[in-house]
Structure 1
């Protein structure tokens, strides 16, 4: 049993670190509720921040919340607690995604504890990476990180990578031709003065440079809208991609995928890698099916990662904790 009751200051710090997680278009689709008498922190989905056009089944929403849950686990261990997390604890309430019982003392989970510095250092990088190859021992560590959370991380071979890049281009073309599919993107892009005060979404200062050459799967958040002072740069011709997959494709699997994703991202950050994500080819069911491993033909791809050596990216804005945390 816990030996000290959770106070608002402690919980505020934990939630602040949890919400440093990535989410689709930085929508931050989560809410937290503390039950102090039970030492219980509840994680809810916030459907007001869902992508109703491009994520109608809320798969990406669950992945983002799963990433926040993993950050919470890391923060809790760092703060001296053992986080006992249960996924989807109430079948009657599908918006309740996880219940985390915070118990003292902390477990000797050195793997979680050593990832804590990376929580504040991890940022999505939309900049060019070098062509330097990621060493096999680093790849093995990233695969192991995904496996610890019940997922699989695959580094596709050259022709599989070509397939994924083609799927990204196909998705980009569909988005250009279909104004309805751009509604979610437009909703969460922050341009001009709005970017300076934004607490969510993708502000123009985090767009990265415009791609002049190269084949990196990079969503251009600016679209056709001009952004003052934005440079054009060459991106890598041979991007190093990784596909994160799960055996199943249920809400519980999506939450596991989110936790695996964040563990991989923090492990990569700790190893000195820059990271970015793309869900472009996964937003259409037919393209998503083609992204899976052509050899095994099994599993469900949940995210495409771009990894490499380069600038670490700029921190995207976050909502104040008071907006996402309710203390009963």
Structure 2
């Protein structure tokens, strides 16, 4: 079977799979992952020298890195399935090495399913859109598919529906954003990850949305300096979706990352645009208010803004070769 030896995956297949994995989303496009071939399996590691000490850490531990690595694991799964060698996934396979967050080992060979191929085709087209969306509503059938996408990965997705509910969420999100922006370290972190020239990571200023206005319903990160026409509003009633997991452990966050990526790829395949709105997750009090408002026992892990919109600017990625470590063998 191509891509496999009698002892597991090959280096060539690792490179193919990682090319898809690095297209996963990460907070501020920080790309906190590394990959390696070990004893025939592909391991995903958190890269500790790419931290987000304010937005991605704080009271949440390695929340942002685990969510991003979970999304990368989902892309790896799709790429390996497309080669006919789908993996079994073990999360945190070595208690003595918490930096290894996942290990993918060859499962029984089989052809990829049409759904897997459709999701993989969406990987290079998925981008975060920080621009206003069109007023056209997302149809109920597509909303159901997004909910089912999260459920298929062991997560959940709740839609914030109705003017009153969306307004209440907007108030919560703006309040969380004000808390964050009062911290000079947070503002410095945003500036540090904003790119005004060529770079392999971070958010290009041109990919940022228009500068936020006081009357906007939802907050925007200040990645760019683009102004909008006078009197021009952001969309008044966006579709807001909350992705969560059963709990709030590191395993739950990796699970939520895989669910998040399946939701995003499902949205992309349906012709939708999406962006992530994590301020209510980053502030503990806001996160708890959001959980209570949703009547969930599980933990919210990410908020999405979803709708129809114009194509978004792509964000750069480090080359796959830069995030692949040399193959190692135990013993």
Q: TM-score, normalised by structure 2?
A: 0.90
Q: Which residue of 2 aligns with 1:234?
A: 233
Cα deviation digits, residues 241-281 of structure 1 (max 9, x gap): 00111121000000000000000000000001001001111
CA contact (8 A) 1:2 1:104 kept: no
In 2, Cα distance between equivalents of 1:94 and 1:134: 40
Q: 1:96 aligns with which of 100, 108, 116?
A: 100
Q: Which residue of 1 aligns with 2:245?
A: 246
In 2, Cα distance between equivalents of 1:19 and 1:106: 24
Indicate yes or no: 2:171 matched with 1:166: yes
Where in structure 1 are there 5+ consecutive unaligned residues? none
Q: 1:106 aligns with which of 80, 100, 110?
A: 110
SS of 1:301's partner is: strand
In 2, Cα distance between equivalents of 1:245 and 1:8: 34
Q: Which residue of 2 aligns with 1:32?
A: 35
In 2, Cα distance between equivalents of 1:240 and 1:214: 15
Q: 1:175 aligns with which of 159, 180, 197?
A: 180
CA contact (8 A) 1:17 1:71 kept: yes
CA contact (8 A) 2:149 2:262 kept: yes
Q: CA deviation at 1:140?
A: 0.6
CA contact (8 A) 1:163 1:291 kept: no
> Relative to structure 2, which stretch is displaced further, 51-60 or 116-125?
51-60
Indicate yes or no: 2:179 matched with 1:186: no
Indicate yes or no: 2:126 matched with 1:125: no
In 2, Cα distance between equivalents of 1:33 and 1:3: 15
Q: CA deviation at 1:103?
A: 4.4
CA contact (8 A) 1:39 1:103 kept: no
In 2, Cα distance between equivalents of 1:60 and 1:133: 30
Cα deviation digits, residues 82-103 of structure 1 (max 9, x gap): 1111111111111110000134
Q: CA deviation at 1:180?
A: 2.1
Q: Which residue of 1 aligns with 2:74?
A: 70
Cα deviation digits, residues 110-130 of structure 1 (max 9, x gap): 322221110000000011101
Judged with a 3 Å threshold, the aligned counterparts in structure 2 of structure 1 residues 257 and 295 are, in CA distance, closer, same or farther, namely closer
In 2, Cα distance between equivalents of 1:3 and 1:117: 20
In 1, Cα distance between equivalents of 2:207 and 2:34: 24
CA contact (8 A) 1:124 1:312 kept: no
> Relative to structure 2, which stretch is displaced further, 180-189 or 88-97?
180-189
Q: CA deviation at 1:165?
A: 1.0
Q: Which residue of 1 aligns with 2:153?
A: 149
SS of 1:33's partner is: strand
CA contact (8 A) 1:211 1:234 kept: no
Judged with a 3 Å threshold, the aligned counterparts in structure 2 of structure 1 residues 266 and 29 are, in CA distance, closer, same or farther, namely same
Where in structure 2 are there 5+ consecutive unaligned residues? none
The RMSD of aligned alpha carbons is 1.9
Q: CA deviation at 1:162?
A: 2.0
Q: TM-score, normalised by structure 1?
A: 0.90
Q: CA deviation at 1:104?
A: 5.8
In 2, Cα distance between equivalents of 1:289 and 1:264: 23
Q: Which residue of 2 aligns with 1:256?
A: 255
Q: Which residue of 1 aligns with 2:222?
A: 220
